Structure 1
Amino acid sequence: MGEIIQQIIETSGLANLTFNNVFMILLACLFLYLGIKKQYEPYLMIPIAFGILLVNLPLAGMMANQTSENPGGLLYYLYQGTTLGIYPPLIFLCLGASTDFGPLLANPKTILLGGAAQLGIFVAFFLAIVLGMTPQEAASIGIIGGADGPTAIFLTTRLAPELLPPIALAAYSYMALVPIIQPPIIRLLTTKEERQVEMAQIRKVSQKEKIVFPIIVTIFVSLLVPSATTLISMLMLGNLIRESKLVPKLAETLQNSMMYMITILLGLTVGAKADGDLFLSATTLKIIFLGLVAFSVGTAGGVLLGKVMHRLSGGKINPMIGAAGVSAVPMAARVVQIEGQKENPNNYLLMHAMGPNVAGVIGSAIAAGILLAFFS
């Protein structure tokens, strides 16, 4: 009996716990707290955190590879959709079905703000090179500045898959912290008078324009940056399904049930790659630091171009909308709306900010395509 009890103890998870296991389990619980209690990106934070928890439970074998003696763990099979780059494009398909490009079409100049906000990607890229990262690692870290989680995952799985967990967590963490990170940068770079600027109501965009737009963008971007086709085409297909008005049930499915299904699979499998040895390293600290730099510089780049457009337009453009050029949709646009109303209760900037916000989604996908073409 004593031998049986000893064998049970020796083969239990408790007997095989390491410091790294304990640390990662506690980290998973922290992320669960942030996702549930603080509501930081709960749709992704909860499954990512639970994935971290599952993979760090000793002997559970959730991520065990398939062998002749072991059929493989559940998360190992689900992770194939991440490592093969299937989940991020499907997220873009669903995102396209949820996105209204009307504000961008009503004021096409705002696409420049979406482009300027990608500045952080390339600043972080060069900083990462200086800090000793390989070009592939630097590109994967830099894309955090686009504030687009699926794009960061898509690029990282192709260039630096070993860095996927900390990059994914950094990308989604900074997206969740948009209301904390962006306001100080906006206030630092703009004057009170600039923040008070009221913008004229945007024009009504016809359905024909909305239908033609995704087709033209797909053709143009794919010819210009072929490596961005995967993400852009899925984004625009989803948007075309939405704007055609012919298949409302399909559009509804993409916007809701399919989006949630893919999100939980993506989050769970990204978390399941969170190895303690990787997280307790100098590389992770570099990623966290560079991700913050990328996001902050991206926000600043959008605002600074907004100030230029403010001057050139004779004061008709509120430079704060440039902060929405990062592709954290719609959080960044909401931040601009809130900041505008703090300075001027009659200021309604949400729809104006949505133009650069959705342009940022396109911009980050193109930036990822450029980096992929150079460093894959």
Structure 2
Amino acid sequence: MLEIFQQMIETSGFENLSFNNLFMIVLACIFLYLGIKKEYEPYLMVPIAFGILLVNLPLAGLMSEAANNNPGGLFYYLYQGTNLGIYPPLIFLCLGASTDFGPLIANPKTILLGGAAQFGIFAAFFLATALGMTPQESGAVGIIGGADGPTAIFVTTRLAPHLLSAIALAAYSYMALVPIIQPPIIRLLTTEKERKIQMTQARTVSQTEKILFPIVTTIFISLIVPSATTLIGCLMLGNLIKEIRIVPKLTETLTNSMMYIVTILLGVTVGAKADGDLFLSPVTLKIIVLGLLAFAIGTASGVLLGKVMYKLSGGKINPMIGAAGVSAVPMAARVVQKVGQHENPNNYLLMHAMGPNVAGVIGSAVAAGVLLAFFS
């Protein structure tokens, strides 16, 4: 009886619980708190955190590879969708079906703001390289500045898969913190007069324009940056399905059930790659700091180009909309709207900010393609 009891103890999780396991379990509970109580990106934060929790429970074997008589763990097979770069493009497909490119088409100049906001990606890349990271690791860290979780995951699985969990958590954490990070940067770089500027109503965009946009954009960008085709192609296909208005069931499926299914699979498998050795290393601290710098520089770059456009337009463009050039849709645009209304209650900037915001989605995909073309 004692031998049986002893064997039960030796084969239990308590007996095999290491410090790293314990640390990651506590970290998972913190992320669960942030996702549930604070509502920081709950759709992804909760699955990621629970994935971290499950994979760090000793002897559960959820990520064990198939070998001999061991068929392999459940998450090992689900992770192949992340590892092979399947889930992020599917997220883009669903995202395209819920995105309105009308504000960008109505005011095409705002695509420059979406492009300027990607400067943070390349600034962080050079900083990471200067700190001793490899070009592949630097590219994976820099893409955090695009504030686009699926893009960050897609690039990292190809350039630095060993950093996947840390980069994914940093990317989604900063996306969730957009309302906290961006307002101080906006106020620092703009004057009260600039923040109060009211922009005129944009023109109405025809359905023909909306249908042609995803087709033309896919052809144009894919010819310039072929490595961006996977993300851009899926994004624009989803948008085309939405805009033709003849397959509403497909649009409904993409924006609802499929989006949520792929999101939970992506989240738990990213969390399941969370290694305690990585999170307790100096590399993680570099990722956190550089990711924040990338995001801050991207926001600042968009605002600064917005100030240039403000001058060139004779004061008709509110420079704050440049902050929405990062790819956090629609949170960044809502931040601009909120700051604008705080300064001027009659200021309605949301639709104007959505132009650079959706341009940022395209911009981050193009930046990802550039990084993959050079360093993959």
Q: TM above 0.5, one fold?
A: yes
Determine the C-alpha separation between the residues in 2 that align with 1:178 and 1:247.
Answer: 34
Look up the equivalent residue of 2:266 and give its one-letter code: L
Determine the C-alpha separation between the residues in 2 that align with 1:182 and 1:69.
Answer: 53
What's the offset of the Cα at 1:154? Answer: 0.3
What's the offset of the Cα at 1:15? Answer: 0.7
Q: Between Structure 1 and Structure 2, how many residues are aligned?
A: 376
Aligned to 1:53: 53
Aligned to 1:293: 293
Aligned to 1:16: 16
Runs of 4+ in 1 over 3 A off after TM superposition: none
The superposition leaves residues 88-133 of structure 1 with CA deviations (integer Å, 9 ceiling, x where unpaired) of 0000000000000000000000000000000100000000000000
Matched, 1:261 2:261: yes
The superposition leaves residues 10-53 of structure 1 with CA deviations (integer Å, 9 ceiling, x where unpaired) of 00001110111110000000000000000000000000000000
Aligned to 1:149: 149
What's the offset of the Cα at 1:138? Answer: 0.2
Aligned to 2:232: 232
Aligned to 2:80: 80
Report the 3-state secondary structure (helix = DSSP H, G, I; strand = E; otherwise coil) of the residue aligned with 1:197. Answer: coil
CA RMSD of aligned residues (A): 0.3
Look up the equivalent residue of 2:369 and give its one-letter code: G
What's the offset of the Cα at 1:168? Answer: 0.3
Question: Where do residues 21-32 of structure 1 align in structure 2 (5 Å cutoff)?
Answer: 21-32=21-32
Question: Where do residues 211-222 of structure 1 align in structure 2 (5 Å cutoff)?
Answer: 211-222=211-222
- Structure 2 residues not aligned, in runs of 5+: none
Determine the C-alpha separation between the residues in 1 that align with 2:31 and 2:264.
Answer: 15
Question: Where do residues 187-336 of structure 1 align in structure 2 (5 Å cutoff)?
Answer: 187-336=187-336
- Structure 1 residues not aligned, in runs of 5+: none
The superposition leaves residues 264-286 of structure 1 with CA deviations (integer Å, 9 ceiling, x where unpaired) of 00000000000100100000000
Determine the C-alpha separation between the residues in 2 that align with 1:106 and 1:127.
Answer: 36
Determine the C-alpha separation between the residues in 1 that align with 2:161 and 2:275.
Answer: 13
Determine the C-alpha separation between the residues in 1 that align with 2:21 and 2:68.
Answer: 27
Question: Where do residues 55-204 of structure 1 align in structure 2 (5 Å cutoff)?
Answer: 55-204=55-204
Determine the C-alpha separation between the residues in 1 that align with 2:103 and 2:14.
Answer: 55
What's the offset of the Cα at 1:326? Answer: 0.1
TM-score (norm 1): 1.00
Look up the equivalent residue of 1:120 and give its one-letter code: G
Determine the C-alpha separation between the residues in 2 that align with 1:7 and 1:321.
Answer: 64
Determine the C-alpha separation between the residues in 1 that align with 2:140 and 2:277.
Answer: 19
Aligned to 1:365: 365
Determine the C-alpha separation between the residues in 1 that align with 2:337 and 2:151.
Answer: 25
Determine the C-alpha separation between the residues in 2 that align with 1:95 and 1:140.
Answer: 22
The superposition leaves residues 231-281 of structure 1 with CA deviations (integer Å, 9 ceiling, x where unpaired) of 000000000000000100100100011000000000000000001001000
Report the 3-state secondary structure (helix = DSSP H, G, I; strand = E; otherwise coil) of the residue aligned with 2:303. Answer: helix
Look up the equivalent residue of 2:120 and give its one-letter code: G
Determine the C-alpha separation between the residues in 2 that align with 1:51 and 1:206.
Answer: 44
Instruction: State the identity as a percent.
Output: 81
TM-score (norm 2): 1.00
Look up the equivalent residue of 1:289 and give its one-letter code: V
Determine the C-alpha separation between the residues in 2 that align with 1:139 and 1:353.
Answer: 27
Determine the C-alpha separation between the residues in 1 that align with 2:92 and 2:99.
Answer: 10
Determine the C-alpha separation between the residues in 2 that align with 1:180 and 1:23.
Answer: 27
Report the 3-state secondary structure (helix = DSSP H, G, I; strand = E; otherwise coil) of the residue aligned with 2:347. Answer: coil
Determine the C-alpha separation between the residues in 2 that align with 1:217 and 1:98.
Answer: 17
Look up the equivalent residue of 1:261 and give its one-letter code: I
Determine the C-alpha separation between the residues in 2 that align with 1:256 and 1:204.
Answer: 27
The superposition leaves residues 294-332 of structure 1 with CA deviations (integer Å, 9 ceiling, x where unpaired) of 000000000000000000000000000000000000000
What's the offset of the Cα at 1:69? Answer: 1.9
Determine the C-alpha separation between the residues in 2 that align with 1:288 and 1:255.
Answer: 31
Report the 3-state secondary structure (helix = DSSP H, G, I; strand = E; otherwise coil) of the residue aligned with 1:67. Answer: coil
Look up the equivalent residue of 2:90 and give its one-letter code: L
Determine the C-alpha separation between the residues in 2 that align with 1:61 and 1:214.
Answer: 43
Determine the C-alpha separation between the residues in 2 that align with 1:199 and 1:247.
Answer: 35
Look up the equivalent residue of 2:158 and give its one-letter code: R
